[in-house]
């Protein structure tokens, strides 16, 4: 793991002290050391405002300010919206998962969680949010962040800037589902112009077509969004 990832600032927001400490130990075992902890939503919000983290591991059920509400506050603040939020929840209901994505979370992990899965998700989201200029490879697809090119079996594929950003997001987070709203933020970037969620569907259709047979690995997750299929 590259040093810039382990230098990332991570905030754990979990009201159960034992679980909070367990998550901290898992992160430390993964090489992360810039870790802060909060035990309720209001305490977490104060820490976020004073010492902006790169990623927040956020429990849903919190005293003072619940996880969904805190996530919305983060994502509606222009100074904080770049923070990656992963929801931690014992709930597995589809409605709760969707609510987390609608609040702006990039992912969710159900408790009890696997330590390896937790570290893998943290690493994946820090990579996609940070400056990572290394090549990414998925099956026969090679994406070069420096040259902004995509090749399949040495043949260059002409993608629009939006299509490139979406593919880059997928290849940095294989198997992770992204809602249309999250992908839409990629299309908007830092600009304020309006793009409808329908535009995301159009970009996905075009991207699949340009990838040929490999386009089928971009899967539609009904009611949620899209993901790049994990390796068979």
Q: How many domains does the chain have?
A: 2
- How far apart (Å, rounded) are the C-alpha atoms in residues 111 and 151? 39
33 in the same domain as 112: yes
78 in the same domain as 21: yes
Query: Which segment, 63-67, 101-105, 131-135, is predicted with the most confidence on average?
Result: 63-67
116 in the same domain as 9: yes
| Token pair in block for residue 58 | 């956020």
Q: Which has more confidence, 191 or 107?
A: 107
Instruction: Say how many C-beta atoms besides its own lie within 10 A of residue 205's C-beta.
Output: 12
122 in the same domain as 57: yes
For range 219-227, the mean pLDDT: 90
Please give the model's pTM, rounded to 2 decimal places.
0.57
106 in the same domain as 34: yes
165 in the same domain as 56: no
**pLDDT (tens digit per residue) in 131-178:** 344 577 788 898 887 788 999 987 999 998 889 989 988 987 888 888
Give the end of a domain, one of 129, 149, 164. Answer: 129
Contact (Cβ atoms closer than 8 angstroms) between residue 85 and residue 73: no
144 in the same domain as 101: no
Mean pLDDT of the residues in the chain: 84
Give the end of a domain, one of 112, 129, 146. Answer: 129
Helix axis angle, 180-188 relative to 161-172, nearest 10°?
130
Residue 198 has pLDDT above 90, yes or no: no
104 in the same domain as 14: yes
165 in the same domain as 123: no
**pLDDT (tens digit per residue) in 43-56:** 999 999 998 899 99
Q: Which residues pair with 46 in a beta bridge?
A: none
Range of the domain at 142: 136-228
- Say which CATH number the domain at 203 has: 1.10.10.10
Q: What is the pLDDT of residue 227?
A: 92
Give the end of a domain, one of 69, 96, 129. Answer: 129
- How far apart (Å, rounded) are the C-alpha atoms in residues 20 and 59? 10
191 in the same domain as 122: no
199 in the same domain as 152: yes
Q: What is the pLDDT of residue 191?
A: 45
Residue 98 has pLDDT above 50, yes or no: yes
């Amino acid at each position: 793991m590259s040093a810039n990832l382990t230098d990332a600032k991570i905030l754990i927001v979990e009201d159960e002290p034992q679980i909070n400490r367990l998550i901290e130990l898992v992160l430390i075992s993964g090489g992360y050391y810039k870790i802060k902890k909060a035990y309720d939503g209001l305490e977490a919000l104060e820490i976020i405002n004073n010492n902006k983290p790169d990623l927040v591991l956020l429990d849903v059920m919190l005293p003072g300010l619940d996880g969904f509400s805190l996530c919305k506050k983060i994502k509606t603040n222009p100074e904080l919206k770049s923070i990656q939020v992963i929801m931690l929840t014992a709930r597995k209901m589809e409605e709760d998962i969707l609510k987390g994505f609608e609040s702006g979370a990039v992912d969710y992990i159900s408790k009890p969680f696997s330590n390896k899965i937790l570290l893998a998700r943290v690493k994946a989201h820090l990579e996609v949010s940070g400056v990572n200029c290394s090549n990414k490879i998925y099956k026969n697809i090679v994406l070069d962040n420096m040259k902004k090119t995509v090749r399949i079996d040495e043949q260059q594929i002409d993608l629009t800037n939006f299509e490139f950003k979406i593919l880059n997001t997928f290849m940095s987070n294989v198997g992770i589902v992204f809602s249309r709203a999250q992908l839409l933020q990629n299309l908007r970037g830092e600009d304020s112009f309006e793009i409808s969620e329908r535009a995301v569907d159009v970009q996905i259709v075009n991207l699949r077509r340009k990838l040929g047979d490999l386009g089928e690995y971009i899967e539609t997750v009904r009611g949620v969004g899209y993901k790049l299929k994990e390796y068979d």
